Amino acid sequence: MRKAEAELLASFEQALAAGQLHMAYQPKVAVKDGSLVRVEALVRWDDPMLGAVEPARFVPLAEQHGLIDDLTQWGLRRILGQWLKWRDEGIDTCIAFNISALSLQSLDFPDLVERMCRALEVPTDRLVLELTEGATQPLIKLMDTLTRFRIKGIGLAIDDFGTGYSSLMQLRQLPFTEVKIDQSFVADIERSRDCRLIIQSITELAHGLGLTATAEGVETMHQLRLVRELGCDVVQGYLISPPLEPRALKGWKAKFRRAWPAMIAEEKLALWGDIESDALSEGQV
């Protein structure tokens, strides 16, 4: 391990033990009416010396050096506690939680999650686990564990779908409830006919298998309207909201309800025609 990496790891271990991590929550809304369907919990680490460290830097480090189960369990406790606080404020939403495939390797893990939910009286169907396929952690090997989660009523989303190692076969074989289309397709949706075709195909496939199709990384109104036309059910991204501190969710919800009609009030888009020039005239490419 390089010196810089070893130092980062030591600081992370300290931050985890000292309770210096926190969660931000990014809203995901239904395309049909803009209602809040769930929030995705995203871990945050603001170190006094290092500043904000991105999860893309410290999550892989935690995976490689035996700290991922501690991070997962800390995260679960945190989000279940947060769910209770929101419920007391009158917000009954679902929480999506990113989970490393490494944490799923123990067959007992679904029981542990269920016990944690039961101890706090959080219904298991308010929890969705988001999983990403990795080179060394094929999801198909986790079939039994994933099935156990579904039996307990916990939702399962396949994250970053369409890139990396995720495959169509897994959608059919594994008990997912949601497909999250990778942000890269949404980022290029205006420029690339191929991306539009990929989003449409994944969405149709998801619907054929009874799954929800979510578009991630929606940043502009134009992208929102396009993913809507292509049939996506749920949207998430900076246009809807950046990840929020928990106390900001209630205010966001009220504000977003008022903003939504204007976001989608637009005539039908020419999806396969002269879309590039549409985007140009909106100044978005």
Q: Which residues bind Ca ion (CB under 5 A)?
A: 98, 130, 159-160, 216
Q: In this complex, which beta carbon is closest to Ca ion, that of residue 96 or of residue 117? A: 96
Q: Does 104 bind ligand C2E (CB under 6 A)?
A: no
Shortest separation between residue 136's beta carbon and ligand C2E, angstroms: 15
Task: Compute the distance between CA of residue 245 and CA of residue 197 in angstroms, rounded to an integer.
Answer: 35
The Cα–Cα gap between 107 and 149 comes to 10
List 11, 93, 100, 200, residue binding ligand C2E (CB under 6 A): 100
Give the DSSP letter of residue 104. G
- 3-state helix, strand, coil split of the chain in percent (to 5) is 50, 20, 30
Lookup: tokens for 20: 């210096």
Residue 43 makes contact with ligand C2E by CB under 6 A: yes
Nearer to ligand C2E among residue 78 and residue 148 (C-beta): 78
Identify which of 30, 176, 155, 38 has the alpha carbon closest to the alpha carbon of residue 95: 38
Cβ partners under 8 Å of residue 162, min gap 6 = 181, 182, 184, 185, 198, 202
* 95 vs 275 by CB, closer to Ca ion: 95
Residues paired with 46 in a beta bridge: 52
Say how far apart CA 55 and CA 221 lie, in whole Å.
27
- The least distance separating Ca ion from the CB of residue 180, rounded to whole angstroms, comes to 5
Q: Which does 70 bind (CB under 5 to 8 A by kind): Ca ion, ligand C2E, none?
A: none
Please, what is the minimum distance in Å from the beta carbon of residue 49 to ligand C2E?
Answer: 20
Q: Whose Cβ is closer to Ca ion: residue 216's or residue 278's?
A: 216
Q: H-helix or E-strand containing 16?
A: helix 3-17
Contact call for residue 55 and ligand C2E (CB under 6 A) = yes
CB of 67 or CB of 215, closer to Ca ion = 215
Structure tokens at 120: 């706090």
Give whichever of 31 and 275 is closer to Ca ion, judged by the CB atom: 31
Q: CA 106, CA 147: separation in Å to the nearest integer?
A: 13
Q: Report in angstroms how near the CB of residue 158 gets to ligand C2E at its nearest.
A: 11
Select from 245, 240, 242 the least CA-distant residue to 215: 240
Cβ atoms of residues 26 and 242 within 8 Å: yes
The yes or no reply on residue 52 touching ligand C2E (CB under 6 A) is no
The yes or no reply on residue 27 touching ligand C2E (CB under 6 A) is: no
26 in contact with ligand C2E (CB under 6 A): yes
Q: Considering beta carbons, is residue 51 or 90 the nearer one to ligand C2E?
A: 51
Amino acid, res. 275? I
In the bound state, the residue with its beta carbon closest to Ca ion is 130
Cα separation, 221 vs 263, whole angstroms: 6
> Under the criterion CB under 6 A, does residue 42 sit at the interface with ligand C2E?
yes
Give the footprint of ligand C2E on this chain (CB under 6 A): 26, 42-43, 54-56, 59, 75, 98-100, 130, 132, 159-160, 183, 217-219, 237-238, 243
